[in-house]
Structure 1
Amino acid sequence: MTVIKKKKRVSKKNKAAWRKHCDINDVEEFLEDQRLEERLGKFDTKPDEELFVLDTHGNDVPEEKPDIKPDIKHQTAKQRKRALLPVTPKCFEVLLPTSKVQDPNAKRNHVKPVGSKPSDLSKLTQQRQLVKGVLAKKLETRKANKRLAAEKRKKSKSFRKTYDKNIWGDESLEAKGVPETLIDDFISTEAQIHNVPTTKRLRAKPPPPKTVLKRKAVDIPHPGVSYNPSFQEHQELLQEVVQHEQKMMKREAHLYRVTTGLFSKVTPKEKENQWREEMSVGLPQPHDPTNDPEPEEAGDNEYKAINPPVKNKKKDHKARRKQKERILEKERLKREKIDKKKITDIYKLRKIQASLKDKESRDAEERTKRITKRKELEETALPALNARKPPVKEPEFIDPKQLTGDLRKIPMTSNLLKDRFESFQRRGALAATKIMMKKKRKLKSYFKSGHKVTDQDIDRYVKRSAGKK
């Protein structure tokens, strides 16, 4: 073993140098011993029985270990559980202190947990509950629950006293407790009896599916799509395509009407004029001499005011009477009109009642139609494999000019693989998916100027950028 000699004349100006060149093993051992004594206790205070063991057997004779729990085999499960009650559970052993170090503060005040000491508010609420009879009612319910639990426990422990049933006499499976759902030819008797639980009851049979889905093996296209169709089949397909296009045009017109069509188009000049008018409201307008009214020529000795004085001309008795008569006549005509409308409404009651009955009958018919349609859709609906809906198939159509009697000359209008894939989705064999297209990033190129760049490099870069545009 090589012994490392201590260097002479080393610098000890900082802590790292002191730790490196000073031997402090004896101090660390002393501190470790002191911590161990604090944890386990001092050896001076422990008795000899804990520290030493008297060996009465030799090395050749094996030591007989005493049975720690000799009568545990003869105990019942209840006795074993009761014996484990005073033992601290494993989950709480972490909370217990492992150190033997005494508490430095011997006179520590004991703090009671929250809720153990009744507060003034809790005392008041308890008094109110006592006056109202809430506590008495709780006591009664607790006693009733205890009584019911005891009766239930007693009933479960009770056994039958009359043995008048012969279980060996009847060989049927119903007598052995096997329910009707398990009695079948291809299931053996041992398996039927094994599958019956102790309560003699089985789990409820799940309801059958609403409909047995019957998918078509192949989604047959319309006969008018053929490369050599008959005239009638081609015309039927043409009508379907026309109806589909009309529906799409109507939908596009509706979307335009409720979005873009709501806003009127304004030219930039009109927009600027409108903005100027709105922002100049309340401001003094500039004087326009062309719009000034021509002044009237007044006489030599005549004075005419711009705003002539208003005369307070009083109404006479005749004018007031006429005004009052007009108001009364207007009110009388109004009342006559209301009375006439009441009479006409009375005569219209039968008509209104008939129209209401018609409306109710129409609503009932529409409701029944909706319910039957919903039921039919539920019966024939495909299984919901995911949240997405399968793509709707658009009608295929070939222009009459492109129709040929030869299969080799017909143009390709669709992709066969895509059609088969979408057909699987529409028939519920595959879950509907969404096309995910990866966008190509547009990278901008820059020309890095430098002292090594020549005119040929600049021309090449300009030509390349012009070609990309």
Structure 2
Amino acid sequence: MPEIKKKRHVSKKNKKDWRKHCDIRDVEDFLEDQRLEERLGKFDTKPDSELFVIDTLGKDEVKDEKDEITIKPRTAKERKRLLLSETPKCFQILLPTSKVEDPNAKRNHVNPIGAKPTALSKITDMKRLKKGVYEKKVAVARKNRKMALDKKKKTKQIRNTFELDLWGTDTPEAKGIPSTLCDEFVPPEAQLHNVLPERRLRPKPAPPKTVVNRAAVELPHPGVSYNPSFKEHQELLQEVVQHEQKMMKRETHLNRVTTGMFRKVTLQERENQWREEMSVGLPQPHNPANDQESESDSEYKPINPPVKNKKKDHKTRRRQKEMLAEKERLKRLKIEKKKITDLYKLRKLESSLSEVDKRQAKEREARALKRAVVEATALPALNAHKTPKQEPEYVDPDQLTGDLRQIKTKANLLRDRYESLQRRGALAAAKLMMKKKKKLKSYFKPGHKVTDQDVERYVNRTAGKK
């Protein structure tokens, strides 16, 4: 026997308590049904023809508004065309579904914008039709549809090549990525972050813009040999001299445009300039020589003497006007003469302009040819650093020996081969990073156990370092 719960007695003194403890769901359901009947109408009053439909058509047949039976379209294109006349689902919410009559029966009906063509819109449509705007739009739409269809077909194509080796070295597990991170939802940054440092993936350099044939290892100059001929040694000497002259010229140029631009001032001149600038606006010291000059010159001389308003007479004004007119006439005459001379110089100007055009065309062709050669033979840009330039080597004549036992090595073979690979584009150019050594300063910590011998030893050690 089900247990009957004891009815609780709750106070319903206030409105809040009344709403909280009263069950009014049946009233809400009744009001909801009433509102639904107001919108859609009562089912009791509707005839059976509106509530039920007898299906007498086939599977592929559809009945139109005019009661004409047509076959249902099967292609997707025909189904899309039929959907154009229907109201979209996003706008069906805006349509009225209520059966309640409009309280304002005399409401003015307003046509939406664009429902009725105006005279101006008809003229613009005719102009667009004559220009072929609509035909162009149709062609572009047809082209876009074709491109989209081709793209869709390509995505649906099944891969026919089965060259992937599941147990090869290309798998993420073989590269050090944990098996828990081998998932399409985990980005490659997270996978790379969790790889062990010794098995971390290295970023591949960007591919070169052009296919470069690696040059052979450059042979050193014959004059670098331990026993060169006199002619080869002199040729190498000339190359080294030219290189040094070029570097000296560059150094002098940099010195001229940087340090040489500023004027050198001696210490005394700088002191005098500073004293003069600092004393501007201050009362000057008393000088007796200036007092003697002021006493000797008893005549009063004002700073701004009065100006006399001397009027010009008619003769002066007339001559002034005549001079201006003559000056203007000569100026006009000069311009007319220049026009005549320019007419005679037209042929000369035309020939000079044609020569300039020809010269510029030749220079342009030469620059384009040089640029093409440089681009064809340029090394791939593996990183942002530039390849180091090769410095000319030179052996002093005093150090030349005919025996390999007495030769003194200057260059490092490993470094030369490394820079050679960089110059030929096989390796990325590196930038030499020099670490500065920290200067440690030593201090002497005195104490009660320090003896005179310890102090003397510390002083001698610091003096030897200096």
For normalisation by structure 2, the TM-score amounts to 0.50
Partner letter of residue 439 of structure 1?
Answer: K
Partner letter of residue 407 of structure 2?
Answer: I
> Mapping of 1:60-99 within 5 angstroms?
none
> What does the per-residue CA deviation read over 1:263-318, in whole Å, with 9 as the maximum and x for residues that have no partner?
111123222323333444455544433245365577xxxxx543376544433333
Paired residue secondary structure (1:262): coil
8 A contact 1:425–1:432 mirrored in 2: yes
Partner letter of residue 306 of structure 1?
Answer: K
CA distance in 1, matches of 2:279, 2:116: 77
Paired residue secondary structure (2:260): helix
Partner letter of residue 264 of structure 1?
Answer: R
Q: 1:317 aligns with which of 314, 317, 332?
A: 314
The answer for the alignment partner of 1:121 in structure 2 is: none
Q: 1:294 to 1:283 in 2, by over 3 A?
A: closer
Q: 1:273 to 1:222 in 2, by over 3 A?
A: same
8 A contact 2:214–2:425 mirrored in 1: no
The answer for the alignment partner of 1:215 in structure 2 is: 215
Q: 1:347 to 1:232 in 2, by over 3 A?
A: farther
Task: Report the CA distance between 1:213 and its aligned residue.
Answer: 1.3
Paired residue secondary structure (1:445): coil
Task: Report the CA distance between 1:329 and its aligned residue.
Answer: 3.9
> Mapping of 1:178-193 within 5 angstroms?
none
Partner letter of residue 236 of structure 1?
Answer: E
The answer for the alignment partner of 1:227 in structure 2 is: 226
The answer for the alignment partner of 1:355 in structure 2 is: 352
Q: 2:404 aligns with which of 404, 407, 412?
A: 407
Task: Report the CA distance between 1:392 and its aligned residue.
Answer: 0.5
Task: Report the CA distance between 1:327 and its aligned residue.
Answer: 3.8
8 A contact 2:208–2:381 mirrored in 1: no
Q: 1:254 to 1:340 in 2, by over 3 A?
A: farther
CA distance in 1, matches of 2:445, 2:114: 88
What is the aligned residue count? 282
> Mapping of 1:415-426 within 5 angstroms?
415-426=412-423
8 A contact 2:209–2:380 mirrored in 1: no
Partner letter of residue 237 of structure 2?
Answer: L
Partner letter of residue 265 of structure 2?
Answer: V
The reply on whether 1:265 has 2:260 as its aligned counterpart is: no
Partner letter of residue 454 of structure 2?
Answer: D
CA distance in 1, matches of 2:245, 2:389: 17
Q: 2:380 aligns with which of 370, 378, 383?
A: 383
Paired residue secondary structure (1:365): helix
Task: Report the CA distance between 1:208 and its aligned residue.
Answer: 12
Task: Report the CA distance between 1:212 and its aligned residue.
Answer: 5.0
CA distance in 2, matches of 1:284, 1:194: 101
> What does the per-residue CA deviation read over 1:324-364, in whole Å, with 9 as the maximum and x for residues that have no partner?
44444444444444444444444444444333333322222
> Mapping of 1:217-256 within 5 angstroms?
218-256=217-255
Partner letter of residue 433 of structure 1?
Answer: A
Task: Report the CA distance between 1:394 and its aligned residue.
Answer: 0.9
Task: Report the CA distance between 1:226 and its aligned residue.
Answer: 1.7
Q: 1:257 to 1:209 in 2, by over 3 A?
A: closer
CA distance in 1, matches of 2:308, 2:352: 62
Task: Report the CA distance between 1:221 and its aligned residue.
Answer: 0.7
Q: 1:375 to 1:271 in 2, by over 3 A?
A: same
Partner letter of residue 377 of structure 2?
Answer: T
CA distance in 2, matches of 1:355, 1:411: 63
> Mapping of 1:100-115 within 5 angstroms?
none
> What does the per-residue CA deviation read over 1:239-271, in whole Å, with 9 as the maximum and x for residues that have no partner?
222221222122112211221121111123222
Q: 1:429 to 1:400 in 2, by over 3 A?
A: same
The answer for the alignment partner of 1:435 in structure 2 is: 432
Q: 1:383 to 1:345 in 2, by over 3 A?
A: same
8 A contact 1:390–1:432 mirrored in 2: yes
The answer for the alignment partner of 1:202 in structure 2 is: none
CA distance in 2, matches of 1:230, 1:418: 27
For normalisation by structure 1, the TM-score amounts to 0.50
The reply on whether 1:459 has 2:456 as its aligned counterpart is: yes
Q: 1:392 aligns with which of 384, 389, 394?
A: 389
CA distance in 1, matches of 2:336, 2:454: 98
> Mapping of 1:129-148 within 5 angstroms?
none
CA distance in 2, matches of 1:208, 1:461: 62
Paired residue secondary structure (2:409): coil
Paired residue secondary structure (1:392): coil
Paired residue secondary structure (2:414): helix
8 A contact 2:221–2:236 mirrored in 1: yes
CA distance in 2, matches of 1:407, 1:361: 60
Task: Report the CA distance between 1:455 and its aligned residue.
Answer: 2.7
CA distance in 1, matches of 2:267, 2:231: 55
Paired residue secondary structure (1:435): coil
CA distance in 1, matches of 2:271, 2:319: 55
CA distance in 2, matches of 1:322, 1:434: 80
8 A contact 1:382–1:427 mirrored in 2: yes
Moved more, 246-255 or 349-358: 349-358
8 A contact 2:212–2:379 mirrored in 1: no
CA distance in 1, matches of 2:208, 2:311: 95
Partner letter of residue 213 of structure 1?
Answer: N
Q: 1:276 to 1:387 in 2, by over 3 A?
A: same
Task: Report the CA distance between 1:209 and its aligned residue.
Answer: 8.0
> What does the per-residue CA deviation read over 1:79-99, in whole Å, with 9 as the maximum and x for residues that have no partner?
xxxxxxxxxxxxxxxxxxxxx
8 A contact 2:226–2:401 mirrored in 1: yes
Q: 1:314 to 1:222 in 2, by over 3 A?
A: same
CA distance in 2, matches of 1:460, 1:129: 106
Q: 1:322 to 1:429 in 2, by over 3 A?
A: same
Q: 1:416 to 1:241 in 2, by over 3 A?
A: same
8 A contact 2:226–2:404 mirrored in 1: yes
The answer for the alignment partner of 1:468 in structure 2 is: 465
8 A contact 1:227–1:407 mirrored in 2: yes
Identity of aligned residues (%): 64
> What does the per-residue CA deviation read over 1:124-146, in whole Å, with 9 as the maximum and x for residues that have no partner?
xxx88989999xx9xx9xxx9xx
CA distance in 2, matches of 1:346, 1:287: 74
Paired residue secondary structure (1:368): helix
8 A contact 1:213–1:382 mirrored in 2: no
Task: Report the CA distance between 1:370 and its aligned residue.
Answer: 2.0
CA distance in 1, matches of 2:286, 2:315: 49
